[in-house]
Amino acid sequence: VVSPHAGFEYSGPVAGAVFSSVQIPDKFVILGPSHRAIQSRIAIMKEGDWETPLGLVKIESRLAELILNQSPLITEDEIAHLNEHSLEVQLPFIQYFKKDVSIVPICLSYHISFEELEELGKAISSGIKEFKEEVMIVASTDMSHYVEHEVAKKKDFLAIEKILNLDAKGLFDTVQHEDISMCGFQPTTSAIVASNELGAKKATLVKYQTSGDTSGNYHEVVGYAGIKIN
C-alpha cells in the first residue's frame, strides 16, 4: 500500500481508508523518506522494538537480514530512524487491525538515483521470496506540499497515474519533471519495483484528499493519497 504520514487529523482518514481496504498480514516492510540529513542512503533496522500507544512492534530480524544481504547499498543504521516520523505513524493503523505484527523499517535519503531505488526494490522482493511468508510492503509518502488545492490535485494525479500503472520509472521521472513536491516518491518507486517483481497485477486509488478538506484552508495544502497494490 501507499499511505500518507502527516498529522492524523489531516491524513488519518486516507491512511485509515487504505489499511481498511486490505487484509492485514503479520509481517511488514515499511519504506519511508528521511526528512532530515542521514549518513546512510538506505538505512535498515534489523533488531529491536518500536513502541506506540498501542503497544510494542517487533522488528522482523530474519527478513531484515535477508533484505540486507541482497545489496551493498543497504546499511544497518538505527540512528537514521531515531527522529524520523514517516514510518512510525503507519503503525497505529496496522496495530488497530492486528496487535501481534513485526516490521522491517527502511529509511531512504532524498538524494538517491532510480538505479539505486530499483536495486532496493529488487532486494526487498528477493528477501521476501526467501522469507516464504506473506509480507505487506508499505510506502509512506505525502503528495504535493504547500500549494493551492487545485494545483496540488492536478500535480498529484500525474504521479498517482504512474503509481496506478505500476510504472516505477515513470513515477520517478514525472515527480522531477513536473516539480511535484511528493516527499516519499523514492520509497514509493522502490515499492512499485518490489511489487512488480512479486507479481503485482493492479493498483487502486482508495482515497485522495488534501489538508484543505480538514482545515478549510485551500490556499496552501498538502495532498494525501491512499493506494493499494495487488
Which amino acid would we find at residue 107?
A: C
N-term to C-term CA, the chain? 9
CA 163 to CA 203: how far, in whole Å? Answer: 7
pLDDT by residue for the chain (230 residues), tens only, comes to 999 999 999 999 999 999 999 999 999 999 999 988 787 899 999 999 999 999 999 999 999 999 999 999 999 999 889 888 899 999 999 999 999 999 999 999 988 999 999 999 999 999 999 999 999 999 999 999 999 999 999 999 999 999 999 999 999 999 999 999 999 999 999 999 999 999 999 999 999 999 999 999 999 999 999 999 99
| Number of separate domains in the chain | 1
Contact call for residues 123 and 83 (beta carbons, < 8 A): no
Closest CA to 214 of 3, 64, 5, 14: 14
- H or E element: which one contains 32? strand 27-33
Beta bridge partners of 145: 222
- H or E element: which one contains 74? strand 74-76
Which alpha helices (DSSP H) does the chain contain, by range?
A: 8-20, 61-68, 91-97, 114-131, 149-164, 168-177, 185-197, 212-215
Classify the C-alpha dihedral 21-193-43-62 as positive or negative.
positive
Query: Which CATH number does the domain housing residue 198 bear?
Result: 3.40.830.10
Q: Tell me which residue range forms the domain holding 21.
A: 2-229
